Structure 1
């Protein structure tokens, strides 16, 4: 068989419910020209049972250095023209997402990304619009589960395990430095899993992003500090007034 058009990479550790949701989301896709690669970080039997039932195209289960080590491990064996990181608990928005995205991927963009569904903190899923990539100095243009990377562009790049939370941000900045053809689509792509590592350790993620801006983007200290403070204010608003935060950052249509 020839190489698939898309490699979907999932990392998981001890999250059987999230893994099952991701599996079901992929099983529901009407477009099937993809492979599913799962890097498990040495899970307990409950998660391994879901993996055995799911039967991914590739599975490697062993203790590792965290999610970025797993992503990197799976990326080394991926065969698709493009790569999507859909971690355990993340789901595609509906059963035709990949069919719609495949039409855009046929043009071989270096990076394609779109909107996601997310709970801003009030228990309701809302549509979070992707930012233009020119704002990548502020943060990820979209959630990782709504970003498709052209695999040929990734040669020599690694997801740095020195970052606990923001490794995907550093990785995406490196991709954007190489990319010549980027598509920001209006399609709704994915549903971001609530309660993930980046949400549980948001303060650490902000500190790591600060360091990435200072030392990878070489951003002046004052500007990096202003962005850091702005993100703290946004996080406080999200916690204390989720409806207000949703009005500011999310679109009005809810799912």
Structure 2
């Protein structure tokens, strides 16, 4: 079986504290067919100096101003030559150094692969599994109550991807994933942890705007009335979660 080329794209801006962990998680993979692209937003701290330390292991480095995270991610997509693409942005990590090898060696040549995500806090302490557990079988229904698979934990065939929609500033990744799922014929659940996610991104800092965008995206894929009903269920599930845990990890 042909070993697919995986393009891993890391978007970063002024994140000298965490960028090195992300880079190491990619370049230390035992799987050799990886194209690694880093898209930097013209960082002014020590981020670029850290990236330069690993330039021999990075396929391409771009450092220039951008119009936001999804503009930067689109730059990566336009450059990607891989059979599959994976976004592993600064602060996040591929779960361990054998993760990619396990995915491509042990599974069928699918349209999409996905798995679980472990949450880590600013002190790199594990906060356990995401609130939204990855569904046994991933399809459009699996997202109607929330983002059941994070973008760090989904490998999508490049030919099935579109550019991120610039009308969304915080939730375009949901639209991007749902679009790919709607086209996919073979989706493989790896049934393992495939990523670590650093909590506290922009969608948390601007939570209300993020929720509005998510609502609009879900209405696009599920329809007006089903979306209202689904959000009623989401509210009930969140209430239960808050009562049990007192916080959300997603």
- Structure 2 residue aligned with 1:130, among 127, 134, 145? 134
Which runs of 5 or more residues in structure 1 are unaligned?
Answer: 250-255
How far apart, in 1, do the equivalents of 2:18 and 2:243 lie? 27
Residues 109 and 178 from structure 1, CA distance in 2 versus in 1: closer, same or farther, beyond 3 angstroms? same
How far apart, in 2, do the equivalents of 1:158 and 1:83 lie? 12
Per the alignment, residue 153 of structure 2 pairs with: 146
Runs of 4+ aligned structure 1 residues displaced above 3 Å come to 119-124, 227-238
Structure 1, residues 206-228: CA drift from partner, whole Å, max 9, x if none?
22111112234323163254256
The TM-score, its normalising length taken from structure 2, stands at 0.85
- Does the residue aligned with 2:51 lie in a helix, a strand or coil? helix
Question: Quick check: 1:205 aligned with 2:210?
Answer: yes
How far apart, in 2, do the equivalents of 1:81 and 1:30 lie? 18
| Matches for 1:180-195 after TM superposition, within 5 Å | 180-195=185-200
How far apart, in 2, do the equivalents of 1:231 and 1:62 lie? 42
Structural RMSD (CA): 2.7
Retained in 2: the 8 A contact 1:108–1:150? no
Q: CA deviation at 1:166?
A: 0.7
Q: Give the paired residue count.
A: 239
- Does the residue aligned with 2:198 lie in a helix, a strand or coil? coil
Per the alignment, residue 102 of structure 2 pairs with: 100
| Matches for 1:1-255 after TM superposition, within 5 Å | 5-55=5-55, 56-104=58-106, 107-119=108-120, 124-128=126-130, 129-131=133-135, 132-133=137-138, 134-154=141-161, 157-220=162-225, 222-227=228-233, 229-230=235-236, 233=239, 236=242, 241-242=246-247
The TM-score, its normalising length taken from structure 1, stands at 0.83
How far apart, in 2, do the equivalents of 1:47 and 1:235 lie? 37
